[in-house]
């Protein structure tokens, strides 16, 4: 089998596993959503990167020397239905790279990234990729058992906070924060984030 060194060598209508993904040797960044290749948006703009840096700074300070760990993209997160046990690379068909994620179960971490659902994921929306984060990833994160999901809207300067209801197995929108608010994750209520700092130009 020839080496895959360019995205154009792949059939974008084909179905691929994480084992396939690991063999690819091209520079483009892609995600796999249920076996389908999803090219990532172009490099994030300054506003996106500034928000990632500000949020990451708050999270890093809070989680430093604590059991839960913070990771930034690019960082492979392999997802599958939470009712299944850990799968092999050939059995996994979804790999995403959240902007920020917090993982409290050290057993999910290996040399390749995270095998299973992080506890908390934050995605910063970019123009052109909002459908993926608000629909496709929303459903994936719910199905795989991500306990808390934040969607950050840079241009509206707002944050939507979703928390997984374990009884209904559905997300509940529990808060919509603006730039004037302090935001706290339901999982870590002692963490207080000044969104005025996060959205400062």
Q: 163 falls in which pLDDT band (50, 70, 90)?
A: very high
Distance CA 130, CA 137 (A): 10
Rg (CA), the chain: 17
Q: Is the pLDDT of residue 1 over 60?
A: no
Q: Is the pLDDT of residue 100 over 70?
A: yes
What is the percent of the chain where pLDDT is above 70?
Answer: 94
pLDDT of residue 197: 96
pLDDT of residue 172: 97
Q: 112 falls in which pLDDT band (50, 70, 90)?
A: very high
Q: What structural domains and CATH numbers belong to the chain? A: 7-39 (no CATH), 46-198 (3.90.1570.10)
Pairing of strands 158-165, 170-178: antiparallel
Q: Is the dihedral of CA 61, 63, 64, 69 positive or negative?
A: negative
Q: What is the pLDDT of residues 44-81, one digit of tens each?
A: 789 999 999 999 999 999 999 999 999 999 999 999 98
pTM: 0.92
Beta bridge partner(s), residue 152: 124, 159
Other CB atoms within 10 A of residue 99 CB: 23
pLDDT of residue 45: 85
């Amino acid at each position: 089998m020839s080496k895959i060194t360019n995205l154009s060598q792949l059939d974008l209508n084909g179905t691929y596993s994480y084992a396939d993904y690991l063999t690819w040797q091209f520079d483009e960044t892609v995600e796999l959503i249920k076996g389908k290749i999803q090219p990532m948006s172009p490099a994030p703009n300054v506003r996106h990167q500034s928000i990632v840096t500000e949020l990451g700074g708050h999270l890093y300070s809070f989680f430093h020397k604590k059991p839960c760990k913070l990771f930034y993209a690019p960082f492979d997160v392999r997802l599958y239905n939470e009712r299944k046990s850990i799968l092999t690379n050939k059995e996994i068909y979804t790999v995403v790279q959240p902007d920020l994620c917090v993982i409290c179960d050290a057993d999910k971490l290996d040399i390749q990234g995270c095998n299973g659902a992080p506890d908390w994921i934050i995605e910063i929306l970019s123009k052109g990729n909002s459908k993926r984060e608000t629909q496709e990833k929303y459903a994936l994160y719910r199905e795989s058992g991500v306990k808390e999901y934040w969607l950050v809207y840079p241009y509206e300067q707002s944050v939507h906070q979703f928390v997984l209801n374990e009884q209904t197995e559905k997300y509940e929108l529990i808060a919509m924060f603006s730039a004037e608010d302090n935001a706290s994750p339901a999982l870590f209520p002692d963490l207080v984030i000044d969104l005025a700092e996060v959205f400062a130009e």
